[in-house]
A and B are shown apart, each in its own frame.
Chain A
Amino acid sequence: MKVKVISRSTDEFTRERSQDLQIFARPFVGAMDGHIDAVSCMAKNPNHLKGIFSGSMDGDIRLWDLASRQTVCQFPGHQGAVRGLTASTDGRILVSCGTDCTVRLWNVPLATVIDSDCSSDNSAKPLAVYVWKNAFWAVDHQWNGDLFATAGAQVDIWDHNRSQPVNSFEWGKDTVISVRFNPGEPNVLATSASDRSITIYDLRMSSPARKLIMRTKTNSIAWNPMEPMNFTAANEDCSCYSYDARKLDEARCVHKDHVSAVMDIDYSPTGREFVTGSYDRTVRIFQFNAGHSREVYHTKRMQRVFCVKFSCDGSYVISGSDDTNLRIWKAKASEQLGVLLPRERKNQEYLEAVKNRYKHLPEVKRIVRHRHLPKPIYKASALRRIMTEAERKKEERRRAHSAPGSMPRVPLRKKRIIKEIE
């Protein structure tokens, strides 16, 4: 029997389009569904790569297994929203705090337990519940120590075994909204408050060390784990500001690109890049010293992003958003997942080298730089560009019509700082 039928392959009859190239970069790995309210905070487990804790606005705390994308354990107890979550450096204790004025300490289930039965719905009981006078906004654990700090009406320093704070700091009357311990110097912590200030505290001193007031509020702070004197502040004005803690009068770098308030920030363990989540429903990844983002992630279903975390191996990004889901993204959008054969790895390295070699060519550059953006964000960024341009022009004209030297040029790195208080 000889048989032939008409068979047309689409490739032969259609032209390749530029959008077809985007198929290879698929950063979205999966969503973790389970919370019944917006995810407000997350915490990495420093001792266990696969685990991540998340707290939601309805008081639910969950431990997730990133590999199977399932809830391993739940920590019920909070009456109001959970606003802060942190794990001790050894990964045994989880600290949570929330708007119900309680701080709760939990025992983290062992890694073997996590692996053995992730199917059964096991919920943990708190190790300790400490009730305090005010609602809490954030909590962070000291690196290699027993202390943790909560932020609320003031900054409180707690010990695991004490039902009351061991120390309290206050500078001004406004609410402190975020707190982060320095990874290099265990006694140093930075906080941001709703009076638009960023304050650095030293636990060895009785009073706060330094304070920096900016024009807009800082929502979150992240220390660079590899260069512990530097930190980056996620600001309401859509930008992130990298500061040297020793020299607060000028930002080291301004990271622009978001079109709405930046809600959370987290550094990669390598310290070379950080991830930000924004109220404009996108997650961006920045180089630690770059003015613009390297990558932007969005999906149709992802709403306002409230918290982001880099995974402990630096290869994934986890975002928690208003739509009650946690989403896992690849840190490198076009990276191939799974175990690579040596030849595959060589090939990828070669392709990477080729891309690097020819990145200056306009054809290559266009493809490498292109990112598809949702229409509202695209429009908003265009509008922002117009606004900044108009502002710059106006200032130029003012300068041209005023006495020479009366309007000094203020770099952007200094422009948003009001003053620094020692």
Chain B
Amino acid sequence: MGVRKEDDTSAKIMAPKEQRRAPQCLEVRGAHTAPQRGDSLLLEKNYMENLQKLLPRLKKWLMPSEGGYLEAEGIEKTWRIKQEAIAREVDILSRKNQYDIVLPELGPYTMDFTSSGRYMAVAGRKGHLAIIDMKSMGLIKEFQVRETVRDVVFLHNEQFFAAAQKKYPYIYNRDGTELHCLKEHGAIMKLQFLTNHFLLASVNKFGQLHYQDVTTGQMVGNYRTGHGRSDVMQVNPFNGVVALGHSNGSLSMWKPTSSAPLIKMLCHHGPVSALAFHSNGHLMATAGMDRKIKLWDLRKFKVLQTITGHAKTLDFSQKGLLAASTGSFVQILGDFSGSQNYSCYMNHSIVKGYQVRKVLFRPYEDVLGIGHSMGWSSILIPGSGEPNFDSWVANPFETSKQRREKEVRSLLDKLPPETVILDPRKIGTMRPMRKKEKPSKQEREAEMDAAVADAKNSITRKKKTKGRNKPSKRSKKVQEAVERAKRPFLEEESSQKKKQKISEQSELPKSLQRFVRKTA
């Protein structure tokens, strides 16, 4: 069973904004440089043929490394392969990524990675915050805030991170200095950061959703979800829409500029316990307390697959593997047929009694981070990470100079909050014409005039005997024809007016309609 996938999925992984820089979209780049002279059809055909020949070579240059894989041989099954067996086969550098950090004191841990996967922030429920450089495995900073920490999230780079603490969320810098206390948010359950929009989204104890712009400090949105407390929140990385899972089994999707949800859908018969988005934006996984994990197609909002099982936490990897975990058991599901049919790929059990709080794939690495009640662990999941990184998008080997450059560039490219919509591809396109539009008054008049002129011209003059051909009779006939031609137009107008009247009346209940003042 292989994890290698066709390449079109890898192209979809990047968000559309990043896609123009990503090396994956070779075709688009090539098309701009295509020759435009001569017989265009023939040229295009030749060009496509050449491109097909060139593509493997270009791939070799621009996407030099292959992804990881785990293949079973003979009667082996991939889900029976243990981490120890993988550790024996892989190189020393990768073996360093398998470890367990046991910190029994400070309670279940949650974590977050930077977009490059280089840095990790961990937060213990009882107030332990730390930033770790994953390349050197060095602790950059750790400190104790001495109160409950519910969530931690990196802002645009490793220099800043936000922690949801007992009463308010706080923003710290890399040295652990408290920069901001965001009192308006209240007691936050879950935090998320919209990287392209520089928005910090949070949902608090009372089910209020807040959006704050971290560059200007402006509170962009503050909405009541109306479904009570919720600690299931996830940003769709494709379009920046925030999804919230509620205790009544429904799920709502929000954008920062409207107080009503974009989508409300009933997903489960029990409370929603976890939520994850595939980075291509088409696929969503939800888990409920009704012992179901559902995979949804977000284009049609329909269930693709229902898997039986509990999940406290879910996460999609860059290559589309789905990690689901409950208790002390982690299951990795994979889609190997290419038909959105997820099946078991790997299993992992941590020590019995440890409760997993969060699973998170490390970007650009075949590593899954597991935060649990006794610290955190890291295991190898071959084939989960994207092997080729684009240093313009996320660079795991970033120098401080590059980081500064990138910060400036990403601030210049910051998207306004209005661009968060369900289908961001609509931005920059024309609105389609309405199919049937009412003719304007002038048009109607012109039409009527034309009909009148037609009626006038259509009158044929017969040779009549003397005395029968009176001018008065002739003019009367013309008059009649004109009236006949005008009638349908006039009737239409009057009927519209009537309709309006009727609709005005019908707004009221029938019993009250008799009190309506009759206007002309």
- Residue numbers of A with Cβ under 8 A of B are 1-10, 13-14
B393 vs chain A, min Cβ distance (A):
15
> Please, could you name 13 A-B residue pairs with CB atoms under 8 Å apart, sorted by A?
A1-B76, A1-B81, A2-B73, A3-B68, A3-B69, A4-B68, A4-B382, A5-B94, A5-B380, A6-B364, A8-B397, A10-B397, A14-B397
Whether A3 contacts B91 by the Cβ 8 Å rule is no
Given known contacts A8-B396, A10-B397, A13-B397, A3 and B71 CB-to-CB distance under 8 angstroms: yes
Interface membership of chain B positions 49-71, coded 1 if the CB is closer than 8 angstroms to chain A and 0 otherwise: 00000000000000001111111
Whether A3 contacts B89 by the Cβ 8 Å rule is yes
B60 vs chain A, min Cβ distance (A):
16
Whether A5 contacts B396 by the Cβ 8 Å rule is no
Question: Considering the complex of A and B, which 10 residue pairs feature the smallest CB-CB distances, nearest first?
Answer: A5-B366, A5-B68, A2-B71, A13-B397, A7-B94, A5-B94, A5-B382, A4-B68, A3-B89, A7-B93
CA A7 – CA B91 in complex, angstroms?
8
Interface membership of chain B positions 66-85, coded 1 if the CB is closer than 8 angstroms to chain A and 0 otherwise: 11111111001000010001
Within 8 Å CB of B66, what residues of A?
4
Whether A7 contacts B73 by the Cβ 8 Å rule is no
Give the residue name and chain of the A residue nearest to B136 (CB): A10
Whether A3 contacts B387 by the Cβ 8 Å rule is no
Give the residue name and chain of the A residue nearest to B4 (CB): A4
Give the residue name and chain of the A residue nearest to B385 (CB): A6
Within 8 Å CB of B89, what residues of A?
1, 3
| Neighbour of A6 across the interface among B72, B76, B387, CB < 8 A | B387
Within 8 Å CB of A14, what residues of B?
397
Within 8 Å CB of A2, what residues of B?
69-71, 73
A5-B86, A5-B90, A7-B90 given; 10 more Cβ-contact pairs under 8 Å: A1-B72, A1-B85, A3-B68, A4-B69, A4-B382, A5-B68, A5-B382, A6-B364, A6-B387, A13-B397
Within 8 Å CB of B68, what residues of A?
3-6
Within 8 Å CB of B477, what residues of A?
none
A4 vs chain B, min Cβ distance (A):
5
A311 vs chain B, min Cβ distance (A):
36
Interface size on B, residues (CB 8 A): 28
B84 vs chain A, min Cβ distance (A):
12
Give the residue name and chain of the A residue nearest to B364 (CB): A6
Q: Residue B135 at the A interface, CB < 8 A?
A: yes
Q: Residue B365 at the A interface, CB < 8 A?
A: yes
CA A14 – CA B89 in complex, angstroms?
26
Within 8 Å CB of B366, what residues of A?
5-6
CA A126 – CA B281 in complex, angstroms?
85
Whether A1 contacts B71 by the Cβ 8 Å rule is yes
Give the residue name and chain of the A residue nearest to B81 (CB): A1
Given known contacts A1-B76, A1-B89, A6 and B365 CB-to-CB distance under 8 angstroms: yes
CA A6 – CA B70 in complex, angstroms?
12
Within 8 Å CB of A5, what residues of B?
68, 86, 90, 94, 366, 380, 382
Within 8 Å CB of B73, what residues of A?
1-2
A109 vs chain B, min Cβ distance (A):
45
CA A4 – CA B68 in complex, angstroms?
5
CA A315 – CA B198 in complex, angstroms?
59
Whether B382 contacts A3 by the Cβ 8 Å rule is yes
Whether B85 contacts A6 by the Cβ 8 Å rule is no
Within 8 Å CB of A7, what residues of B?
90-91, 93-94
Whether B397 contacts A3 by the Cβ 8 Å rule is no
CA A43 – CA B90 in complex, angstroms?
56
B360 vs chain A, min Cβ distance (A):
16
Interface membership of chain B positions 116-153, coded 1 if the CB is closer than 8 angstroms to chain A and 0 otherwise: 00000000000000000001000000000000000000
CA A10 – CA B86 in complex, angstroms?
22
CA A384 – CA B448 in complex, angstroms?
101
Give the residue name and chain of the A residue nearest to B2 (CB): A2
Whether A6 contacts B135 by the Cβ 8 Å rule is no
CA A352 – CA B86 in complex, angstroms?
45
CA A5 – CA B86 in complex, angstroms?
9
Within 8 Å CB of B81, what residues of A?
1, 3
Within 8 Å CB of A13, what residues of B?
396-397
Give the residue name and chain of the A residue nearest to B70 (CB): A3
Give the residue name and chain of the A residue nearest to B135 (CB): A10
Within 8 Å CB of B364, what residues of A?
6
Whether A1 contacts B70 by the Cβ 8 Å rule is yes
CA A8 – CA B93 in complex, angstroms?
8
CA A5 – CA B368 in complex, angstroms?
12
Within 8 Å CB of A10, what residues of B?
135, 397
Within 8 Å CB of A8, what residues of B?
65, 93, 396-397
Whether B86 contacts A6 by the Cβ 8 Å rule is no
Give the residue name and chain of the B residue nearest to A14 (CB): B397
Whether A9 contacts B86 by the Cβ 8 Å rule is no
Within 8 Å CB of B91, what residues of A?
7
CA A8 – CA B69 in complex, angstroms?
15
Give the residue name and chain of the A residue nearest to B66 (CB): A4
Within 8 Å CB of B387, what residues of A?
6
CA A112 – CA B69 in complex, angstroms?
63
B380 vs chain A, min Cβ distance (A):
6
Give the residue name and chain of the A residue nearest to B85 (CB): A1
Within 8 Å CB of A4, what residues of B?
66, 68-69, 90, 382
Whether A6 contacts B90 by the Cβ 8 Å rule is no
Within 8 Å CB of B382, what residues of A?
3-5
Give the residue name and chain of the A residue nearest to B380 (CB): A5
Give the residue name and chain of the B residue nearest to A17 (CB): B399
CA A422 – CA B85 in complex, angstroms?
87
A251 vs chain B, min Cβ distance (A):
48
Within 8 Å CB of A6, what residues of B?
65, 67-68, 94, 364-366, 385, 387
A1 vs chain B, min Cβ distance (A):
6
A317 vs chain B, min Cβ distance (A):
32
CA A13 – CA B73 in complex, angstroms?
33
Kindly name the residue among A1, A4, A13 whose own CB sees the greatest number of chain B CB atoms within 10 A: A4
